[in-house]
Amino acid sequence: MLRVTGLSCVRGGVPVLSDISFVVAPGEVLILRGPNGIGKTTLLRTLAGLQPALSGEIGHPEDQGAYTSHADGIKAALTVTENLSFWADVHGVTRVSSILQEALLAFDLADLRDRLGGTLSAGQKRRLGLARLAVIGRKVLFLDEPTVSLDRFSVKLFADWLRDQHLAQGGCAVIATHIDLGLEAPELDLTPFKSALDASGGSDEAFL
């Protein structure tokens, strides 16, 4: 479902990662590892098509990729249900009612369905942000630290949804995380793929 060949990534004109190759099949997850600043975010953004690759090839089904980062992407003036409905409509999803109900249950948001997004706690907002993934119908997920602000119970909710619904239905994911999600998944340490700094040196670690 996702095939990466000889990929090299750049951020702000500075080479970050070089010559990465891997395959993620339907039903599989790849966990990205490495120290802060190694380039996990840059790789995910490149895979998602949000920034151009320096070289190499990325292949996955057209219009099936979705990226999520630390931003929750919710509308403060909309309720939980309205937020999910908005994202479902944007992606042209059918059977919205049943899909919304499944997402609310999967991320323990059913009792909050009528709460405004702006009144939620940080963890509740994060669960709502992740619940978007359950309503947009995309098969290939690129997830950058998806469990930020989540307690242990909520991390398990996310891992259960990913394994029992997204992966079980033929989806796949590439995830940058320092947390053990309890998934049987191969890991890719990006350290060996770090590009040598050029003469100008340096990089903006906050955005790697």
Q: What is the CA radius of gyration of the chain?
A: 17
> What was the pLDDT predicted at 95?
75
> What was the pLDDT predicted at 93?
86
> What was the pLDDT predicted at 21?
98
Closest by CA to 155, choosing from 135, 126, 190, is 126
pLDDT for residue 201 is more than 50: no
Quick check: helix, strand or coil at residue 136?
coil
Closest by CA to 62, choosing from 140, 173, 4, is 140
DSSP 75-120: -TTSBHHHHHHHHHHHTT-SSHHHHHHHHHHHTT-GGGTTSBGGGS
User: Alpha carbon of 180 to those of 27, 31, 208: distances in Å?
Assistant: 18, 10, 21
> What is d(CA 76, CA 128) in angstroms, rounded to the nearest whole number?
11
Q: How confident is the prediction for the chain on average, in pLDDT? A: 92
Instruction: With 0.85 as the threshold, say if the pTM is over it.
Output: yes
What percent of the chain clears pLDDT 70, i.e. is strictly above it?
A: 94
pLDDT for residue 197 is more than 80: no
> What is d(CA 191, CA 187) in angstroms, rounded to the nearest whole number?
12
